[in-house]
Amino acid sequence: MEHTMDKIQAMLTPQSIAVIGASSKPGKVGYEIFSNLKNGGYNGELIPINPGSQEILGVPCLPTIVDCGKPLDLAIIILPAPLVYQAVKEALSVKTKSLCIISAGFKEVNKEGAALEQEITQLCSTQKTRLLGPNCLGLINTHHAMNASFANRMPKEGAISVISQSGALCTAILDWAAGRHLGLAKLISMGNKADLSEIDFLKTFTEDPETKVIVGYLESIGAGHEFIKAAEAAAMIKPVVILKSGVTQAGGKAASSHTGSLAGADIAYGSAFKRSGIIRADTFEQLFDFATALAMQPLPTGKRVAIITNAGGPGIMAADAVELSGLEVSILAHASATALRKKLPAAASVGNPIDVLGDADPKRYVDAVNTAMDDSNVDAIIVILTPQAMTRPAETARAIAACSESKKPILVSFMGGEDVMPGRDELVAANLPDYPTPERAVAALKAMFEYHQWLKRPSRVLQRFAVNRRRVERIIHRDIREKIFQMGEAEAKMVLDAYGFNVLPGRLAADAGEAVSFAEKIGYPVVMKIASPHIVHKSDIGGVKLNLTSAGEVYDAFDLMMLRVSQKNPTAQIDGAYIERMANPGREVIIGMTRDPQFGPLLMFGLGGIFVEVMRDVTFHIAPITEEEAMTMLSQTRSFSLLTGVRGQAEADIQAIANALQRISQLVTDFPQIVEMDINPFIVGEVGTDSVAADARITLAKTD
Amino acid sequence: MEHTMDKIQAMLTPQSIAVIGASSKPGKVGYEIFSNLKNGGYNGELIPINPGSQEILGVPCLPTIVDCGKPLDLAIIILPAPLVYQAVKEALSVKTKSLCIISAGFKEVNKEGAALEQEITQLCSTQKTRLLGPNCLGLINTHHAMNASFANRMPKEGAISVISQSGALCTAILDWAAGRHLGLAKLISMGNKADLSEIDFLKTFTEDPETKVIVGYLESIGAGHEFIKAAEAAAMIKPVVILKSGVTQAGGKAASSHTGSLAGADIAYGSAFKRSGIIRADTFEQLFDFATALAMQPLPTGKRVAIITNAGGPGIMAADAVELSGLEVSILAHASATALRKKLPAAASVGNPIDVLGDADPKRYVDAVNTAMDDSNVDAIIVILTPQAMTRPAETARAIAACSESKKPILVSFMGGEDVMPGRDELVAANLPDYPTPERAVAALKAMFEYHQWLKRPSRVLQRFAVNRRRVERIIHRDIREKIFQMGEAEAKMVLDAYGFNVLPGRLAADAGEAVSFAEKIGYPVVMKIASPHIVHKSDIGGVKLNLTSAGEVYDAFDLMMLRVSQKNPTAQIDGAYIERMANPGREVIIGMTRDPQFGPLLMFGLGGIFVEVMRDVTFHIAPITEEEAMTMLSQTRSFSLLTGVRGQAEADIQAIANALQRISQLVTDFPQIVEMDINPFIVGEVGTDSVAADARITLAKTD
C-alpha cells in the first residue's frame, strides 16, 4: 500500500516526465500536452519521445523511452491505440513509476479495445506501476506547476481538487474556474479507470495537504464497499462533494421481493453517500457552489442564520430559502438590535433580515456583519447586495472580507451582472464564496451544516448478537447443494429463529389430516398459508387463511386452499400448507433487504400493506447498521407517528423493530449468499409484548 | 375601463413628462432620473420642475407644474414626503394624466405615512388619474426610449416586460440583463402599490404588442379574485412568469377544521397560480431562466426531448434531468439514426443523447440539430457544448442559430466560463436561450411544456346543480342573527341536504329517552355523536358510539357519553347527542373548504383518517371547480389508487366524490358567509351505491 501511494505521488509530483507521442504540430494532442507542460511552468525534467523528430519546442527528442536509460516518474502516452501496448512495455522496461494514457480507442469503443485495455492493465500490475486512463484528458497539479493535460487552461493554485470521469467536464470546469478567477489544487481526468479510480484518489487527496476540498464527478462506481470506506475516511478529514450522474437509469433487474422492487439504483447510491459523509450535489452547479463555500469558510456549528441585505425583496427570498431548507432565520439577541439601532439609520430594519437600506455604504455592511458575528444566536451569515445608485460593490466586498474572522461562515450574494462583477471578483480573492442568487448561497450553507452534523454524529457502534450461525450455514449450504434458491416460509423462519427472531410454532403439512393434527398440537387459533416456491403473493390467490379455530375449519380450509391455488396457478409446485399459531394483533411492518451490486446489502423498513405498496413510504440503509441508524430509518418514514401512538393507540415496541433491523443486518452481512429477503409482516405489539416475524421469504444467489 | 387604460398608456408612452424635484446635483435621485430621461434618448417634451433652478442639463426649469399651463402625460415626483401632497394637487390642477411618485416615507415607514399615502391616492382617484408608487424606482420603456427611473442602466429593446414589488430587485435585473446583453420591453417598479398594481399591469401588458413575456416579482397580492382573472386572461395570450416571495411566512390564523389547518398561505398561492396558468418560478434564477426560453423559442408540443452534446458526461446529466423532471428522453426515429450514421464520425453516438464527439465542428452540430428538427419523435432539442481543444463556440452558436426554424424549441447549454462566453453572446443575439448547466435548460423546457399543457386544457365548464339555495339562506341568516358561527352537525347536514348530498336520517336527542325513541323510529343500527358547538374532535373524548343495535345499548351509550364528555370537557356546552342511522361501510374520504383571505374558497380532498392526519396526503383547488379539475384533485393524491381498487378491493364511486366537490364548490361560492367546512367522513361505496356525508361541520364568518 505504501508502495502504491508512492507511485501515485510520483504521478502527481513527478520530477521527470516523458511525453510519448509528443508532437511539434500545434493542434495535435501530442503538441498541446507537451506545450502545456513546457510553457506552463513545469520545472522538472521533460523529455519528448518521438522517433520522427529531433526536437520539440527546443527540447531534444528521444526515439523511445528506453533511450532515457533511467527510471522516470511519469510517462504520458499519446499514441494511436494499437501502438500503446508496445509503448507501455518499453516504459515498464526502464521502470517508469507511473503512466498516463491519453489515447482513446479502448473499452469505450468495442470488445477488442476492452481486451487491449485489460492486457495493458495487467502488464502494468506485474510491475505494480500505476496507470491513469486510458481515454482521458490528463492531469493537472497547480502546486507543482504541472499541466499534464491537453486542456489549454491552467488554473491558479487553489484548495479544491477534482476527480472526473468525464474529460469534457474537466474542460468546462477549467473554463468556469478561469471565468471566476478561482484556483484549483489538482484535477484528474480518470478516463476509463482501467487501474486508478476514485478510490485511489480519495485516499491520495485525503493525505494531500494542498487539498482542502475533494470534488468528484462520477458516472459509475466500481468497488462499492471500498469506495464507502475510502470516502468515509476522506470525509472525516475534509469535505467530499460528489455529483453522480446516470441516476435515472433503472437497475432493470427483476426483483422478487418488495424490498428489491422498491430499491432503485439511485437509492443505493444515496444510502452509500449518506453513510460515508459525502456531500451530494444534485446538479453541476451545486458541485462548485458547495465546494467553494466549503473551501473558503468554516463550517456552521448550528442552523441559525442572520441575513444582511440592502434590499427588502432579496432579503425575503433568502429568508424563504432558509426556512424551506430546514435552516432557521435566527432571532437576533436583544443587544444586537440595540447595537444596530445605534449604528444604522432610523429607517433600517434591525430585525432579521437586517436591512441596511438601499443607500448602504461599506461601513453599514461592516457594522451589520460585526454585530451578527458577535451574536451568540447566530451560527452563519448571508450577505446580500444589489447594485443601487449609491452601492460600491468592490469596496463593500473588501470591507466584508476584512471583518470575516473565520469564526462563523459568511456566504455572499452580489446580485446582478456587470456592476457587481468587480465586487464579485474581490469576494473570490478574499475567500468569500459568492452566489448570483440568495437561494444558491442558502443551499450551499445547508450542505455545510449537514456535513457538520455528519462530522459530529455519534461514533458507530455495531451490536453483535449471539446467534446460531452454524445452523443457518447448514440450511443455506443444503439449499444451494439442492439448487433451492427460494427458501420456503418454514425454512426462512428457521433462519430467523437462529438469529433470535420470535417465530410462532408452526409446521408444514402435506395433507388435510396432517394439517389438523399439527393444529391440535400447536393449539387454536391457527393460520394456514400455502407452501410453494413459486407463489410470492400468497393472499392474492387465496393462499392465506387466518383465525382457524377448530379441526373442522382447518380440514375444510386445507382442501379449499389446494383447490383454489391449483385453479389459479396450475403450474406451481405445491408443498402443502404451513400451519402456524395465529399471532397476537399488533402493528404490521415490513423489514427487508436487497443486495445492491455496488454497495451490498441495502436494508428497508416501512409500515406494512398500503404504506409500502401504495404510499411507497419506506426508508433504506446500507448494512451493517447501528441502533442509532436503525432508529433513524424508522423515524424518517412519513407514517412513523402511527407507531408512536397517534390517534389514541398505544405506542408500538419501536425498539423491537430497530433490534430486528440490526439482526437482519448481521444475518445478511454474515451470509452474502442471501440476495433478497422480506419479513412481511413483522408484527409489533406494545412495549413489553413479543414481536413476531409472521411471514418471511429469503432468496439465495443462484449458482450454476 | 377604457379610460383608465388610456391613462396607463399615457404613463408608459408619454409625449410629455414633468420631473417635479429635478435636480442639477449628480448623485441626487432628482438628477439621476432627469439625466436618465434626457440622455437616454427620450424624445418627447421634458420639463424639469424646481423653483430653485433656472435650468437643468440645459433644459429651462419651471417653478411649479402649474406653470406648464397645460395637461402633461406624466409627472414624476421626487420630493421629500411632506411636500408630495401639494405637488400632486398642483399636478392634478393642470389635468396631468398620470403620476409616478418616487419618494419614500409613506406606508412602508409608519401610520402617518400610510395616512398620507391614502390621502394622495384618494386625491388622484377623484380625477381618475393613475398613480405609480410611491416608494419606487420608477419605470422604463425601452421601445419608447424612456428611462424614467433612477437606475443607471437602460437595457436594449426586448420582448420581456417586468413588474416588481422590489425596486432593488429591478436594479439587479437591469444589471444582470446588461451582463447578458439581454433586452427588456418595459420595467415597472410598483413600490407601495397605492393605486396601480400587478393587476393593472397584467392587463396592460396583455394588450402590449411589444411584450411577449410578462415577468413579475411579487411579495403580496391584493385582490386575489381579480388577480386570478387578469392573470388567466394574460396567460391565454402570452406567458406570465412570477416569483412570489414570502412563501414561508405562515398565515398564522387559527383554524378549526382539518382543511383550515392543512392549507398554508403558500398552498393558496400555488392553487391560484396553477388555476390561472401562471408559470411559477421558485427562485430568482428561474424567473429569467424561464422567461428567456419563453421569449425566444416556440413552445414544445410534447415532452420528448433530443439531447445533442460534444461530451458524454453532460449528456448524461441532461438525460437525468429530463427523466427526473417528467419529460422524456426521446427514442429517435430509425431514419434519424441512419442519417446521423452517414453524417457523423464512426465513434459518434447516434442514440439519444446524440454525442457529436469532443472534436465536433459547427457542421456536426448542424447535422444533429437538423436531424432532430425533422424527427417526428422529437418535440424539443437541448444542445450542450463544452469547450474542448477543437471547439469553436461562437461559430457553433451561429450555425445552430441558422438552423433553428421556430418549429421546435432549442435550448442550449454552453458550459464553462471565458472560452464559451463569445458563443453565449452569439446565442443571446440569435434568440437561443442559453444556460450555464444542462439542468437549468431542462427546467426551463419543463416550464414551457407545462404552460403548453395549460393552454391546451379543455375549456372550463362549471356545472350548476339544482339546489335548495333558499333553505340554506334561511339557516345561515338565522344562525348569524343568533350569533351561532359554528353550525352543529344537524344543521350542517340540513345545509348539505339542500345542496343534494345524501345524509342519513338523524335527529338531535336531548336525553336518553329521546335518543331511544329516535333510534326506534330511524331503525337500528344507529350511531350516536355528541352535539356541542365547543367540541371539534368528538371521538377523542368518547363522543362517538357506532353500531348501537338495541334500545338498551342506546340508553346506556347516551348516559355514558354525557358522563365521559362532561368529565373530559367540563366547560363545553352540550346540546345532547345526534342519533343517526349507521352508514353502510365504504371508503372514508374528507372533503373540505377553507377561505383564503386573498383567493377565496380553497377546496381540499384527501382520504380520511391517517391519510389526512398522518400522511398529509391532500390536494387543494380554488373554487369554483369543474368536473375535470375535481378529478385531478382526486388523482393527484398519493393514495388515489386505494379508491380505484388496488389490493383486490372494489373500485369506489370516484364520480360521486368529484360530484361532491363540485357541489361544495357551488355552496361556498353561493355563500361567502361560510369560511370553513369539512365533510369528514364522506363515505363512498362502490359504483351504484349511495355515498353519504356522514359527519360535517360548517363555520360561518363572525359578525359583530
**pLDDT, tens digit (0-9, with 9 covering 90-100), for B50-102:** 999 999 999 999 999 999 989 999 999 999 999 999 999 999 999 999 999 99
Between the two ends of chain B, the Cα-to-Cα distance in Å is 36
B165/A contact by beta carbon, under 8 A: yes
Q: Is B121 in CB contact (< 8 Å) with chain A?
A: no
Looking at beta carbons, which residues of chain A come within 8 Å of B415? 169, 172, 175-176, 284
* Residue B249's pLDDT band (cuts 50, 70, 90): low
Q: What is the model's pLDDT at position A473?
A: 97
Partner-chain contact B248 A324, CB within 8 Å: yes
Give the minimum alpha-carbon distance from B314 to chain A in angstroms, rounded to a whole number: 7
Q: What is the pLDDT of residues A178-227, one digit of tens each?
A: 888 899 999 999 999 999 999 999 999 999 999 999 999 998 887 888 99
Shortest alpha-carbon distance between residue A638 and chain B (Å): 6
Interchain proximity A639–B314, CB inside 8 Å: no
* Residue A502, SS3 per DSSP: coil
Do A617 and B615 make contact, defined as CB atoms within 8 angstroms?
A: yes
- pLDDT at residue B264, as a whole number: 65
Instruction: Give yes or no for B285 touching A (CB within 8 A).
Output: yes
Mutate to test the interface with A, among B35, B169, B611 (most CBs of A within 10 A): B169
Do residues B318 and B438 make contact, with C-beta atoms less than 8 angstroms apart?
yes
Weakly modelled stretches of chain A, pLDDT under 50: 1-2, 250-255
Choose among B164, B178, B313: nearest Cβ to A417: B178
Q: Is the pLDDT of residue B226 over 70?
A: yes
Quick one: pLDDT at residue A651?
86
Task: Tell me how many residue pairs between chain A and chain B have CB atoms under 8 A apart.
Answer: 224
| CB pair distance less than 8 Å for A150 and B389 | yes
Asked if the Cβ–Cβ distance from B177 to A439 is below 8 Å, we say: no
In order of A677, B47, B360, the CA distances from B56 in angstroms are 85, 9, 58
Whether B135 has its CB under 8 Å from any CB of chain A: the answer is no
Residue percentage of chain B with pLDDT more than 70: 96
For residue A172, give the nearest of B165, B284, B416 by CB distance: B416
Amino acid found at A377:
N
Most confident stretch, A421-425, B168-172, B361-365, B689-693: B361-365
User: Can you tell me whether residue A378 is helix, strand or coil?
Assistant: coil
- The answer to whether A136 faces chain B, any CB pair under 8 Å, is no
pLDDT band at B383 (very low <50, low <70, confident <90, very high): very high
Q: For residue B180, give the nearest of A323, A417, A647 by CB distance.
A: A417
Query: Rounded to whole angstroms, how far apart are CA atoms A467 and A470?
Result: 9
Chain A residue numbers touching B615 (CB-CB < 8 A):
615, 617, 638-639
Look at residue B478 and tell me whether its pLDDT is greater than 90: yes
- The reported pLDDT for the residue numbered A250 is 36
Q: What are phi and psi of B223, to 5 degrees?
A: -90, 95
Q: CA angle at residue B340 from B339 to B342, to 5 degrees? A: 70
Q: Which residues does chain A have within 8 Å of residue B312's beta carbon, measured at their own beta carbons?
A: 166, 168, 219
* Angle at alpha carbon of residue B533, lines to B531 and B537, rounded to 5°: 75
Neighbouring C-beta atoms of residue A474, cutoff 10 Å = 13
CA distance B220 to chain A (A): 11
User: What average pLDDT does range B405-430 have in this prediction?
Assistant: 92
Q: What are phi and psi of A414, to 5 degrees?
A: -95, 110
Report the alpha-carbon distance of residue A15 to residue A141 in Å, rounded: 13
* % helix, strand, coil for chain A, step of 5: 40, 20, 40
- Do A420 and B358 count as a contact with CB atoms less than 8 A apart? no
Under an 8 A CB cutoff, do A321 and B177 touch?
Answer: no
Q: Mean per-residue pLDDT for B278-289?
A: 94
Confidence of residue B152 (pLDDT cuts 50, 70, 90): confident
CA distance A239 to chain B (A): 23
Q: Mind listing the pLDDT tens digit for each residue in A440-487?
A: 999 999 999 999 999 999 888 999 999 999 999 999 999 999 999 989
Q: What is the pLDDT of residue B492?
A: 94
Which of B388, B413, B607, B639 to mutate: most A Cβ within 10 Å? B388
Residue B168 to residue A109, Cβ atoms within 8 A: no
Q: How far apart (Å, rounded) are the C-alpha atoms in residues B207 and B210?
A: 9
Q: Distance between CA B627 and CA B274 in Å, rounded?
A: 16
pLDDT digits (tens, 9 = 90+) for B626-641: 999 999 999 999 889 8
* pTM, 2 dp: 0.90
- Between CA B3 and CA A662 the distance in angstroms is 75
Nearest-neighbour CA in chain B from A178: distance (Å): 7
Residues 6 or more apart whose Cβ sits within 8 Å of residue A11: A73, A74, A97, A98, A100, A130, A132, A139
Q: What is the tens place of the pLDDT at every residue in A268-302? A: 889 999 999 999 999 999 999 999 999 999 999 99
Closest Cα in chain B, distance from residue A68 (Å): 30
Q: What is the mean pLDDT of chain B?
A: 92
Quick check: B380 pLDDT over 70? yes
pLDDT above 70 for B647:
no
Yes or no, beta carbons of A614 and B642 under 8 Å apart: yes
* Whole-number pLDDT of residue A252: 35
Contact A248/B324, CB-based, under 8 Å? yes
Q: B34 touching A, CB under 8 A?
A: no
Report the distance separating Cα A557 and Cα A519, nearest Å.
Answer: 12
Average pLDDT over residues B463-489: 94
Residues 306-345 of A with CB under 8 A from B: 310-314, 316-317, 319-321, 323-324
Separation between Cα atoms, residue A224 and residue B680, nearest integer Å: 50
Beta strands at A618-622 and A600-607: parallel, antiparallel or unpaired: antiparallel
Nearest CB neighbour to B168, from listed A29, A313, A609: A313
Answer yes or no: do A615 and B610 touch at CB < 8 A.
no
Taking 70 as the threshold, does the pLDDT of residue B606 lie above it? Answer: yes
pLDDT of residue B404: 78
Instruction: Note whether A586 contacts B: Cβ–Cβ < 8 A.
Output: no
Q: Which domains does chain A have, with CATH numbers?
A: 2-211 (3.40.50.720), 298-455 (3.40.50.261), 505-581 (3.30.1490.20), 587-700 (3.30.470.20)
Q: What confidence score (pLDDT) does residue A254 get?
A: 45
Distance from CA of B308 to the nearest CA of A (A): 14
Residues 458-497 of A with CB under 8 A from B: none
Positive or negative CA dihedral for A310, A316, A318, A322?
A: positive
**A164 CB within 8 Å of a chain B CB:** yes
Instruction: Tell me the residues of chain B between 47 and 66 that have a Cβ less than 8 Å away from chain A.
Output: none
**Chain B residues closer than 8 Å to A217 by CB:** 313
The angle at the Cα of B686, spanning B682 to B690, to the nearest 5 degrees, equals 55
Q: Is B359 on the interface with A (CB under 8 A)?
A: no
Burial profile B535-544: b = 16 or more Cβ within 10 angstroms, e = fewer: beebeebbbb
Q: Is A345 exposed, middle or buried (0-12, 13-18, 19+ CB in 10 A)?
A: exposed
- Taking CB atoms and an 8 Å limit, are A176 and B324 in contact across chains? no
List C-alpha distances in Å: B57 to A183, B13, B31, B138. 48, 22, 9, 20
Q: Which of B284, B439, B648 sits opposite A284 (nearest CB)?
A: B439
Nearest CA in chain B to A109: B347
In this structure, the number of other CB atoms found within 10 A of the CB of residue A596 comes to 22
Which residue of A lies nearest to B348 if distances are taken between CA atoms? Answer: A109
Q: Would an 8 Å CB–CB cutoff place A678 in contact with chain B? A: no
